[in-house]
């Protein structure tokens, strides 16, 4: 429990990462305020958080605010010591108009930062993504760190990736030019898995669901870095107060990357009959490339076939004293929650 009743704003309280941040902040004794686009959603969000084990729910309050409008943000940040700006539009893959993703992400981040500065907030922790670090680069044996930035128009960088790059760069530029005493920290989580909140399936949990459902005929020869959503939330909270965190970026990853085929093997090992639809075979690269000519969902993975992206979490461990779970724990927790909530086909 905290020694004083500090107040934290978490933006986008109905979201996957934000919900876990709210749970942990309340558990640690903070007063928590969260934003939703409409207050008609408060009861539903409270119900999801209660189902997920929320304690001290009386210390949680709601404010209506939207990333596309200035309305509500002054009220949202009023009296807050810290802000976790987690809310951002998520559209993986092809979108018709990229501005539908990029503009709310970039302008929303600036709205939150401006309001936080004006309200005297001490520090904003902004959720960026590995999409702002490890995409669009030539294939080498490089280990990605917080010093890397994705190539804006590089191969495999979709609208969501560009939204993360542009929003984070805009945030750093704003704080440098107009931030005053406001401190900024950005978090760069890799593929996020773990316990589902409510009935919404977010992040890389879609991969687990599709595996269990039998929607995947096999696994492309792709490797991904994984992190548990509970560890993403704990890293945000550590970054909120850690003395050496201000002005820093933090890659948030469990450790070594995992082959998609290995994810299938873990599911089969742990879930027996419930994992009977999980594929065991690999999809040859030539088939994936051919499929990418006709299916947009395959195009973003073609540049990463047979390439292992190594990611360092050393900085988060050292500066934040952050200790993440193993990737396997995140995979298993995701599958357990999907099965328990009947979010995979019977």
Domain assignment of residue 117, yes or no: yes
Q: How far is CA 159 from CA 147, 207, 272, in A?
A: 22, 20, 38
Query: Is 164 a catalytic site residue?
Result: yes
Domain assignment of residue 310, yes or no: yes
CATH number of the CATH domain containing 252:
3.40.50.720
Q: Please, which residues have CB within 8 angstroms of residue 95's CB and are 6 or more apart in sequence? A: 101, 158, 159
Domain assignment of residue 251, yes or no: yes
* Number of domain units in the chain: 1
Q: Please, which residues have CB within 8 angstroms of residue 304's CB and are 6 or more apart in sequence? A: 156, 222, 223
Domain assignment of residue 2, yes or no: no
Domain assignment of residue 331, yes or no: yes
Q: Kindly name the residue from 164, 261, 309, 315 that is annotated as catalytic.
A: 164
CB–CB of 44/16 below 8 Å? no
User: Considering the entire predicted model, what is its pTM?
Assistant: 0.94
Indicate the range of 37-46, 83-92, 172-181 predicted with least confidence.
83-92
pLDDT of 262-317, one tens digit each?
A: 999 999 999 999 999 999 999 999 998 998 888 777 777 888 888 899 999 999 99
pLDDT of 7 reads 98
Domain assignment of residue 346, yes or no: no
Q: Is the pLDDT of residue 16 over 90?
A: yes
Q: Residue range 60-69: average pLDDT?
A: 96
pLDDT of 1 reads 46
Across the chain, mean pLDDT equals 93
Domain assignment of residue 155, yes or no: yes
Write out the residue range of the structural domain in which residue 328 sits: 7-340
Q: Which two tokens stand for residue 151?
A: 């190539």
Residue closest to 160 by CA, chosen among 209, 205, 208, 106:
106
Q: Which two tokens stand for residue 120?
A: 């005297």
Domain assignment of residue 1, yes or no: no
Q: Is the pLDDT of residue 52 over 60?
A: yes
């Amino acid at each position: 429990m905290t020694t004083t009743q500090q107040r934290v704003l978490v933006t986008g309280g109905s979201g996957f990462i934000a919900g876990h941040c709210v749970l942990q902040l309340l558990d640690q004794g903070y007063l928590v305020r969260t934003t939703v686009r409409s207050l008609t959603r408060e009861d539903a969000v409270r119900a999801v958080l209660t189902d997920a084990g929320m304690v001290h729910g009386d210390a949680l309050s709601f404010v209506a605010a939207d990333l596309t409008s200035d309305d509500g943000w002054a009220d949202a940040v009023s009296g807050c010591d810290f802000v976790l700006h987690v809310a951002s539009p998520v559209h993986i893959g092809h979108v018709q108009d990229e501005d539908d993703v990029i503009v709310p992400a970039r302008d929303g981040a600036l709205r939150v930062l401006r309001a936080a500065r004006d309200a005297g907030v001490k520090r904003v922790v902004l959720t960026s993504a590995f999409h702002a670090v490890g995409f669009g680069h030539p294939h080498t044996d490089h280990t990605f760190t917080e010093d890397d930035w994705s190539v804006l128009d590089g191969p495999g960088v979709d609208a969501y990736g560009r939204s993360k790059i542009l929003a984070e760069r805009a945030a750093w530029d704003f704080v440098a030019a107009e931030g005053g005493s406001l401190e900024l920290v950005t978090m760069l989580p890799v593929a996020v898995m773990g316990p589902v909140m409510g009935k919404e399936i977010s992040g890389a949990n879609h991969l687990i669901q599709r595996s269990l459902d039998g929607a995947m005929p096999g696994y492309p020869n792709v490797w991904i870095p994984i992190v548990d959503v509970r560890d993403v939330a704990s890293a945000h909270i550590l970054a909120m107060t850690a003395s050496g965190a201000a002005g820093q970026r933090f890659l948030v990853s469990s450790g070594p990357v995992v082959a998609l085929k290995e994810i299938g093997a873990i599911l089969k090992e742990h879930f027996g009959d419930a994992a009977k639809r999980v594929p065991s075979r690999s999809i040859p690269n030539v088939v994936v490339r051919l499929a990418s000519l006709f299916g947009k969902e395959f195009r973003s993975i073609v540049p990463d076939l047979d390439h292992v992206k190594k990611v360092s979490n050393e900085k988060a461990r050292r500066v934040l004293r952050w200790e993440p779970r193993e990737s396997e724990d995140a995979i298993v927790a995701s599958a357990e929650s999907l099965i328990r909530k009947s979010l995979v086909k019977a």
